[in-house]
């Protein structure tokens, strides 16, 4: 029990130090592909700029529910044609930025910036304007801070229920989804410590379960062919077993048995942790990646931000 508690304390300290560098916030940069004026090919560029805006302000977006978004709409103000050759388009536009909850259709934060673009085509003009979008300024920082505060308030309200949901999913052995839900809770939320503790506990269940599955498969592969070919097949499963998994010692025994029979024909080594490496930070990162992987494999939900258009 003391060991588990000490692991949690170290993990929490590691997460806190990591949070000082980058804050994970459940938010997605999103650009509507059909807004006007919005030249073909500009959607990806705009989303990239919005992601840069988050990053420059210390936010790492991590949201696969599609609930919270950072989006932008542009409104043309004036346009001029500059004679050539080649002739160029000069356009002044207002970009309205929004952080919103698409589930409740509430706008959490908004601001606007004026941009001017120059290019030989509408698309080049628009992209040139986006290239001048300010990513850091007191105005942008306040915009991000206001939106972040509302998102954190949401998780302060819903965090306890999310942790209970994760606990239930873990009991059903749906470990990846359980980790996904607790990993969404931001560091600044009052339930973050509880979410982290739950996440570490579920992650241990997850790697123990994976260990049992891979060890059984490795034993089956080795039993089928006790030669170099069988060793290679078994090694593919043993490679997925982490040193802190509950059945690691059994996996190591199988490894030694195989190694003793195939000798140098088998160029495989069991995973070990290196000295001097922040193991608990690695565990937290690995846990988070399980949640990210689960979220990445969920069907894309249609995002409807029509309610924001009414504000334009």
Q: What is the pLDDT of residue 12?
A: 39
State the residue range of the domain holding 197.
160-296
Residues 100/106, Cβ–Cβ less than 8 Å: yes
Do 258 and 242 lie in one domain? The reply is yes
Q: How far apart are the first and last CA of the chain?
A: 57
- In whole angstroms, what is the distance from residue 87 CA to residue 233 CA? 65
Question: pLDDT of 23-72, one tens digit each?
Answer: 778 888 888 765 555 666 678 888 889 999 999 998 877 666 678 999 99
Query: Mean pLDDT across the stretch 221-249?
Result: 93
| Angle at which helices 138-171 and 192-224 cross, to 10° | 50
Contacts for 197 with CB less than 8 Å, ≥ 6 apart: 8, 12
Whether residue 31 lies inside any domain: the answer is yes
Residue where the block lists tokens 């589930």: 103
CB neighbours of residue 137 within 10 Å: 12
User: Which CATH number belongs to the domain containing residue 147 in this structure?
Assistant: 3.30.160
Whether residue 272 lies inside any domain: the answer is yes
Q: What is the pLDDT of residue 40?
A: 62
Question: pLDDT of 272-287, one tens digit each?
Answer: 776 656 778 888 888 9
- In whole angstroms, what is the distance from residue 5 CA to residue 11 CA? 10
Do 164 and 289 lie in one domain? The reply is yes
Residues in the chain: 312
Q: What is the pLDDT of residue 222?
A: 95
Distance of CA 145 to the CA centre of its chain: 20
Q: How many domains does the chain have?
A: 2
């Amino acid at each position: 029990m003391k060991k588990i508690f000490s692991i949690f304390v170290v993990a929490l300290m590691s997460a806190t130090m990591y949070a000082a560098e980058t804050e994970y916030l459940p938010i997605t940069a999103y650009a509507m592909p059909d807004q006007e004026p919005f030249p073909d090919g500009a959607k990806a560029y705009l989303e990239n700029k919005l992601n840069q805006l988050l990053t420059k302000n210390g936010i790492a977006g991590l949201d696969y529910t599609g609930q919270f978004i950072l989006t932008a709409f542009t409104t043309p103000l004036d346009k001029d044609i500059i004679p050539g050759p080649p002739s160029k388009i000069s356009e002044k536009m207002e970009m309205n930025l929004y952080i919103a909850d698409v589930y409740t259709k509430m706008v959490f934060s908004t601001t606007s910036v004026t941009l001017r673009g120059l290019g030989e085509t509408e698309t080049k003009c628009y992209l040139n304007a986006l290239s001048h979008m300010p990513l850091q300024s007191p105005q942008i920082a306040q915009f991000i801070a206001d939106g972040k505060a509302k998102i954190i308030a949401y998780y302060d309200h819903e965090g306890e229920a999310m942790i209970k949901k994760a606990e239930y999913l873990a009991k059903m052995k749906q470990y990846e989804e359980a980790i996904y839900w607790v990993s969404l809770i931001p560091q600044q939320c009052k339930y973050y410590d509880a979410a982290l503790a739950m996440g570490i506990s579920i992650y241990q269940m997850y790697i123990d379960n994976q260990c049992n599955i891979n060890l059984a498969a490795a034993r089956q592969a080795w039993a089928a062919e006790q030669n170099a070919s069988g060793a290679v097949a078994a090694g593919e499963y043993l490679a997925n077993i982490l040193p802190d998994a509950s059945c690691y010692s059994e996996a190591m025994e199988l490894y030694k048995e195989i190694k003793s029979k195939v000798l140098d024909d088998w160029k495989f080594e069991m995973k070990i942790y290196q000295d001097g490496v922040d193991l608990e930070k690695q565990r937290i990162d690995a846990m988070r990646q399980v949640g990210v992987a689960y979220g990445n494999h969920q069907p894309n939900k249609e995002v409807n931000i029509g309610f924001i258009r009414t504000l334009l």
